[in-house]
Amino acid sequence: MGMPEGIKISSYTLDDLLGPLNEVEEKYAPPKIFVSGDMPIPLPSPRCAVIGSRKASPEGLKASSEIVKTLVKRGVIIVSGLAEGIDTSAHETAIEEGGDTIAVLGTSLDRVYPQKNECLQEIIMRNYLAISQFPTGHPTQPKNFVIRNRLMALISDASIIVEAGDTSGSLHQGWEALRLGRPLFIWKSILENSSLTWPKKMLQYGAMVLSDPEEVMDVLPSRGRILKVAP
């Protein structure tokens, strides 16, 4: 990708983005965070991550879209990881519905993965917000996407897993959210798949079944947004 013309990258600490951190957040905070976009810093709230399988089913994509539509109507900023499948659906639906979205990347901001999301990444970097803990030129490695999931859990007030198999990367974020004491929701249709082992484990550690997206609003902080003013 390189850096598109006119895009500026700024660096912050996590407390710049979120305000004062508690001990657990400080323990897991990366030393620097690189951002591009026009969302105000500190970040407005509430922010909810909508994540799931890269190889999403039609039912999963439909569920992701409906969840995001409901949350956007309630003023929630949609956070996701710009991966294929559920992540892409979450970002695109938020934009289509006139909401705000934050992409937390597993690459540095001057690189794109997957390549098919190059245009979407540039739109988010210009008009919304893209975040990475990896400096410009940092090599793209599989482990970076696992590390990215911790940052996504850190900046999200709550997380929703829409669809995921037993080896899905979304499970890393689910466990990170639980470790941080952040609300974690598992979409109801996942529980219908008796072959999956992870939902029961996460429910034992405090995850909640989500049957109506409106239920998320009960655990999110009150709306604190700075409205964009057209020039």
Q: What is the pLDDT of residue 55?
A: 92
Between 161 and 5, the more confident residue is 161
| Model confidence at 127: pLDDT above 90 | yes
Instruction: Reply yes or no: is the peptide bond before residue 40 cis, omega within 30 of 0.
Output: no
Using left for φ > 0, alpha for ψ between -120 and 50, and beta otherwise, residue 85 falls in left
Tell me the pTM. Answer: 0.92
Which amino acid, residue 155? I
Percent of the chain with pLDDT over 90: 83
Token output for 188? 């109801």
State the Cα–Cα distance between residues 21 and 27, nearest whole angstrom: 9
Q: Which parts of the chain are beta strand (E)?
A: 10-12, 33-37, 47-52, 77-80, 101-104, 129-132, 158-163, 184-187, 208-210
What domains does the chain contain, in order, with CATH numbers? Answer: 10-218 (3.40.50.450)
Report the amino acid identity of residue 195.
Answer: S
Q: Average pLDDT of the chain?
A: 92
Q: What is the pLDDT of residue 2?
A: 63
The predicted model gives 64-86 an average pLDDT of 97
Nearest by Cα to 85 from 59, 106, 110, 111: 59
Q: What is the pLDDT of residues 22-63, one digit of tens each?
A: 999 999 999 999 999 999 999 999 999 999 999 999 999 999
Residue among 83, 95, 216 at smallest CA distance from 157: 216
Phi-psi region of 35 (alpha: psi -120 to 50; beta: other; left: phi over 0): beta
